[in-house]
Amino acid sequence: MLEFEHYSAFFCLFLIPLYHILHKFSILQNISFPLTFADWEGKAFQWKHSLFRAASIISKIFLYTAFLCFVIALAGPVISRQEKIFTSRGAEIVFVVDTSPSMAALDMGSASRLSSAKQIITNAVDLMPGTAFGLIAMASEAVALVSTTEDHALFKSQLESLSIGDLGDGTAIGVGLSSAVYHLASSSSVKKCIVLLTDGENNAGDIHPLTAMKLAAESNISIYSIGVGTTGTVPIEYNDYETGKKYSGFLDSRFDDSLLKTLALETGGMYYKADSAGALSQALIEIVKTQNTAQSYYYERKKDYYFDTFILISALCLCFVWFVKRVYMRVII
């Protein structure tokens, strides 16, 4: 709600009726202002067309608006708001999401594995205000798209940008996990974990997943691994990132989940098999519950000042009035 720091400035509005009273009694009759309807030689305009009267009315409206905005600016317009300030850190969670071509398999209802994962992760994030999230995209290599942040809008926008095949057609689980460990190792948060979503075995990268697992355990980082998708022959459809070609066919979906179970067990996390969108959603909800932690906070009053805004509006209105009276009306007479 708009408030004012100097209400006394509104007494300046009495200058408007005062001006009209003085003008009515001819006290200001011979006073010339830069924005009056006098021409350059000091002679009054002779109205020859109704267009002039319309221009006169419009210019007066803008002139009064300019004066009103100037007075409002002098009054110190502010909008107060309350901002929640956390005094303790919440959980920190880094998602490592597989973007290899197999994640385009259409076995999660009507959507692909990756599309379902993105939507369900978004829903899970909404359940954890005050929690910092990070995002690692993983295929043949891994890229950190978002370091841990409480800016959930930024996280969601980067999550939505994930696409199939951007990082090759392999699955470098070890590289993805080590990247996540790097971003969490120095965190002072009480709870910090990695959520790995993949549908394949480790077949790329220079870092073995067990090496990354040991690094995570040493830094008190839990790994929650989720095996996404069904096994067997499933339909698949995606656009190749490099060639732009569209591929459609069937995928022989299978993977050994023993590695994913080991990663979770040795770091204090959990392994989930998500062969449907519902199972994936349930897995993330359970992870959210285990990582959710109470945070202490207080509300701080913040003020946004709008002095410059009203001064700018006032100046623009005056420029318009000047154009109408000194340029437009002088030309068409």
Residues recorded for the chain: 333
Domain enclosing residue 287, as ranges: 88-291
Are residues 257 and 227 in contact, defined by beta-carbon separation less than 8 angstroms? Answer: yes
Is position 299 within any domain? no
pLDDT of residue 103: 92
Residue 35: pLDDT over 60:
no
Looking at the structure, do residues 71 and 41 belong to the same domain, yes or no? yes
Looking at the structure, do residues 65 and 92 belong to the same domain, yes or no? no
Residue 68: pLDDT over 50:
yes
pLDDT of residue 209: 94
Looking at the structure, do residues 29 and 173 belong to the same domain, yes or no? no
Looking at the structure, do residues 58 and 104 belong to the same domain, yes or no? no
- Pick from 15-29, 35-49, 80-94, 218-232 the range whose average pLDDT is largest: 218-232
Higher pLDDT, 225 or 205: 225
Looking at the structure, do residues 70 and 148 belong to the same domain, yes or no? no
Looking at the structure, do residues 56 and 156 belong to the same domain, yes or no? no
Looking at the structure, do residues 107 and 136 belong to the same domain, yes or no? yes
Number of domains in the chain: 2
Are residues 204 and 141 in contact, defined by beta-carbon separation less than 8 angstroms? Answer: yes
pLDDT of residue 39: 46
Are residues 107 and 230 in contact, defined by beta-carbon separation less than 8 angstroms? Answer: yes
> What does the pLDDT look like over 206-216, one tens digit per residue?
999 999 999 99
- Tell me whether residue 100 is exposed, middle or buried, using C-beta atoms within 10 angstroms of its C-beta: 0 to 12, 13 to 18, 19 or more: buried
Q: Which helix (H) or strand (E) holds 313?
A: helix 307-322
The residue type found at 63 is L
Is position 296 within any domain? no
Residue 40: pLDDT over 80:
no
Looking at the structure, do residues 263 and 136 belong to the same domain, yes or no? yes
Dist CA 253 CA 251 (whole Å): 6
Question: Residue 194 sits in a domain of what CATH number?
Answer: 3.40.50.410
* Paired sense of beta strands 132-138 and 142-149, if any: antiparallel
Sheet containing strand 77-86, strands side by side:
2-4, 77-86, 297-305
> What does the pLDDT look like over 249-299, one tens digit per residue?
888 887 778 999 999 999 999 999 999 999 999 999 999 888 876 566 778
Looking at the structure, do residues 256 and 233 belong to the same domain, yes or no? yes
Looking at the structure, do residues 275 and 145 belong to the same domain, yes or no? yes
Is position 153 within any domain? yes
Q: How confident is the model at residue 89 (pLDDT cuts 50, 70, 90)?
A: low
Tell me if the pTM is above 0.75: no
Is position 255 within any domain? yes
Looking at the structure, do residues 105 and 252 belong to the same domain, yes or no? yes
In order, the DSSP letters of 87-138 are SS---EEEEEEE-SGGGGB--BTTB-HHHHHHHHHHHHHHT-TT-EEEEEEE
